[in-house]
Amino acid sequence: MLTTNSNYELKNAALAKNPVYVAEIFFNNGNSGTDGTNDIYFATCDVNEITGFAHTDRWFPFLKSDSISSMSQTVDPINGVSSVGNLSLSITDYNGMVSDIIKAADTAGHGLRRQRLSIIMLYKGMDWADRVLCARCRSTTCGSRR
């Protein structure tokens, strides 16, 4: 269930909508990290279309909105059966910048596996404080497609 706020609901009720999706990768190896140090943001728009975002040097407009997909998690406690969800997305490796970011994180001891991945939604012109968390998981597999 999404937890929304009045500013988000106002934009969401408008007839014309300009949604923005953000994939936040928080490099923390399963531990706590520092906002603005251990995080990187891939989005479907430029950072200047969102107000109140503090770490503009960590925002990259390379997320493909039509590539975000997920499957849900189910639990059947009566039969002792469960399934774990899946979250997929594609990020454009513009001029090799994404590869460079990932290599630098890997060199620093923060590979992509087990890092926290959050999918955030808001609308163009909104304040970052009014963002809505859509999904959060730990990354397990990463690959590249040519």
- From residue 45, alpha-carbon distances to 1, 2, 29, 125, 138 in Å are 25, 22, 28, 11, 24
Residue 131: HSE in the Cβ half-sphere, 13 Å Cα cutoff: 19
Question: Would you call 60 helix, strand, or coil by DSSP?
Answer: strand
Strands (E), 48-131: 59-60, 69-71, 74-76, 81-83, 86-88, 116-123
**Better-predicted residue by pLDDT, 52 or 81:** 52
pTM, rounded to two decimals: 0.78
* 3-class SS of residue 112: coil
Instruction: Answer whether residue 35 shows pLDDT above 70.
Output: no
What is the distance in angstroms between the CA of the first residue and the CA of the last residue of the chain? 35
Domain chopping of the chain, boundaries: 6-138
Distance CA 1, CA 24 (A): 19
> How many CB atoms within 10 Å of residue 44?
21
pLDDT digits (tens, 9 = 90+) for 124-140: 999 999 999 988 777 76
Instruction: Write the pLDDT tens digit of every residue in 46-77.
Output: 999 999 998 898 899 998 888 887 766 677 77
Question: Running DSSP on this structure, what letter comes out for residue 50?
Answer: S
Pairing of strands 39-43, 59-60: parallel
Predicted pLDDT of residue 2: 75
Per-residue pLDDT reduced to its tens digit, 2-27: 788 898 899 889 898 899 999 888 87
